[in-house]
Chains A and B, each alone.
Chain A
Amino acid sequence: MKYISRKILILIITILFITLLTFLAFHVLPGDPAQLILGTEASPEKVEALREQLGTNQPLLRQYTSWISGFARGDFGTSLKYQKPVAELIAGRLPVTLLLGTMVIVLTLAVGIPLGVFAARKQGTWIEQGVSLLTMLGVSVPGFFLSILFMWIFGLVLHFFAPGRFISWESDPAGCLRFMIWPALAIAVPQTATLVKYIRTSMIDELRSDYVRTARGNGTPENTVMYRHALRNAIVSVVPLIGMMIGEIFSGSIIVEQVFAIPGIGRLLVSSVTSRDFPLTQTLVVYCALIIVITNFLVDIVIQLIDPRIRLTE
């Protein structure tokens, strides 16, 4: 318990530090937001008035504390581009990214873990070579390339979905899933390949270990040896990788969302950056950082739940 509370304290400090860095990055950058919004033709009085409205004429520290205290209350400010509360904008986009992310994670784990175990089991056969070749291919093909490939083959040629025409969950859940499966696959394929590689290596190490021999010596059926003994041990070293993947996926797969025209967090981030919408960008950057920090925190907890040896080291 003491360990967890200490971890939470570190978590909070990390998050504060991230907000500070994000804030500084946006306010140290050259370019006055008010000037940018109004354009170079605007009169100095108008610019000054907008500065007053945005609060950018106040001292930096003051700006930061007011931003942070707003954050704590759940008030993230108002988007300059959309003229809507940032919270509302994010809330509208979040379900889409969460759905996409969940699909990717389910696909990655459901395919990656059994395939990694299978490859380790077939060590030294042509099957393993085949799986190795596929994973090499999967790891080296980037998600955005797969997106374009899928759009072309499954969208334009085979008409499995209409490229660029996003179907929302509210209007048609089945249609939404049918559309989302393609971007989900585009992200999941490289992720799965990476996972297979790690699981395979980790499993091969575990299968050589003495406790696996003991399990076999006890007459344990091969499947049980694989999943209940070796995989549980192998997964300990793969959990951090899975955590990193999850963090990456939920912070919005920027390029894939862009290619498939999915109105998710990633796309919102791109548009906020291009339009210099600093309240929105700041919040999104902090959101992404939060996802990463929190998944890392969860990874630590999960590893401790699996591996009793780690509990003692704290």
Chain B
Amino acid sequence: MAEPLLSVRRLSIGIRSNKKTYTAVDKVSFDVYPGEILGIVGESGCGKSITAMSLMGLLGSGVSVTGGNAFFEGRDLLSIKGKERLHMNGNRISMIYQEPMTSLNPLMKIGRQIGEPLRLHTDLPEKEIRARAREMLDRVGMRDGDKIFKSYPHQLSGGMRQRVMIAMAAIANPALLIADEPTTALDVTTQAEILELLRKMNRDHGTSIIFISHDLGVVGRICSRVLVMYAGRLVESGPSAAILGDPEHPYTEGLIASIPEVEDRGEDLPSIPGRVPSVTEEHAACPFAPRCGKATALCSKIPASMRNVGPDHFVWCHNVHGGSR
């Protein structure tokens, strides 16, 4: 395989609360290759979003990177500051967020907002920026582009706003796009359109995408590779087909079983009993052990090491037998 575009190594993120630091992301490592769409799935609270935010340097107050590196274009995204950070954001890496309704500045016209990354990162004349921003509206499939260009965010629907966010994220042609649950707040038809748009961006411009979702079904449709996270740790990673078709980790199995299928209509939808432990709770060596049907005494004592169970398919579980690495 080619050189990875982004190499995250042993990324740890801590949340400070009541003078204690709790580990929210625990030594997570992964690569993103040029031109691929990598999915990160897991239930709410498993650390997907803050992993993304840490790459953008957008962690909130009280949340900080406690260890690890993320190499991207010769720099460590976790430690760059000041001018280097500003150079990366919106230019080499962009992000689209979970909340299209509130992610646009309510006082700025759409056309102006889409052009912001070019205004910040290039010396292009304003006229050219506006022309490109207008063109982006067509590229993200907005009919009535001239009108939208002059509109304010409150005049648009959630789906339209998310398209605007995509147009803004893509205008400077970044190498990496992070999409944090971009379709969660949208209805199903809009969801499909937004997914298609991301796929098109990936195909036409070779933009690598990290696609974060709690919905393994959606991730399977768009991503070539998938990481499954649970309570701040990786539990399984591999090609989408392998993860969806032949899940190894009991947590991944549970997630797949809870995807509704048309043929199962009328039956109870299986769900994973229990809930994700909150970051402030002490967890066992394997955080999933309390909810796992296959847990043994070993699971609460020793953290599982990474096992290779297929081509590029890894799992962290004592009860899965494959080559340890």
Contacts and interface: CB of A to CB of B under 8 A. Distances in A.
A209 B106 CA distance: 11
Interface stretch (A151-159, A176-184, A218-226, A275-283): A218-226
B103 A216 contact: no
A209 to B, nearest CB: 6
Contacts of A218: 89-90, 94, 116-117, 120, 168
A167 interface: no
Contacts of A233: 105-107
Given A211-B102, A211-B106, A217 B94 contact: yes
Contacts of B86: 219-221
A211 B168 CA distance: 13
A306 interface: yes
A210 B90 CA distance: 15
Given A124-B61, A213-B58, A214-B97, A219 B87 contact: yes
Interface residues of A, number: 23
A309 interface: yes
Nearest to B153: A211
A214 B114 CA distance: 11
A218 B56 CA distance: 10
B137 interface: no
- Residue of A209, A215, A233, A306 contacting most chain B CB atoms (<10 Å): A215
A219 B102 contact: no
B152 interface: yes
Contacts, number: 75
Given A124-B61, A229-B105, A306-B107, A219 B91 contact: yes
Q: Which of A216, A221, A307 has the most CB of B within 10 A?
A: A216
A81 interface: no
A220 B120 contact: yes
Interface string B100-132: 001111110000000011001100000000000
Given A217-B58, A217-B89, A218-B117, A312 B154 contact: yes
Contacts of B116: 215, 218, 220
Contacts of B152: 308-309
Given A217-B58, A218-B120, A219-B85, A308 B102 contact: no
A259 B116 CA distance: 53
Contact of A214 (B61, B105, B154): B105
Given A218-B168, A219-B90, A209 B120 contact: no
Contacts of A216: 56-58, 89
Interface in B123-160: 152, 154-155
A210 B85 contact: no
A214 B86 CA distance: 13
B320 to A, nearest CB: 38
A221 B120 CA distance: 9
A213 B87 CA distance: 16
A219 B58 CA distance: 11
Range class of the B interface residue count:
20 to 34
B278 to A, nearest CB: 21
A232 B120 contact: no
B43 interface: no
B95 interface: yes
Nearest to B56: A217
B226 interface: no
A308 B105 CA distance: 11
B39 to A, nearest CB: 20
B253 interface: no
Interface string A220-248: 11000000010011001000000000000
A267 B97 CA distance: 58
B99 interface: yes
Given A214-B97, A309-B154, A219 B106 contact: no
Nearest to A229: B105
A308 B107 contact: yes
Nearest to B102: A210
Given A210-B97, A233-B107, A309-B152, A217 B102 contact: no
The 7 closest A-B pairs by CB, nearest first: A218-B90, A219-B89, A219-B90, A210-B102, A308-B152, A211-B105, A219-B86
17 contacts: A123-B61, A124-B61, A211-B102, A211-B104, A214-B97, A214-B165, A216-B89, A217-B58, A219-B89, A220-B86, A220-B120, A233-B107, A236-B107, A307-B106, A308-B106, A308-B107, A309-B154
Given A216-B58, A306-B107, 13 more contacts: A210-B103, A211-B105, A217-B95, A217-B97, A218-B120, A219-B88, A219-B89, A219-B91, A219-B121, A220-B86, A308-B107, A309-B106, A312-B154
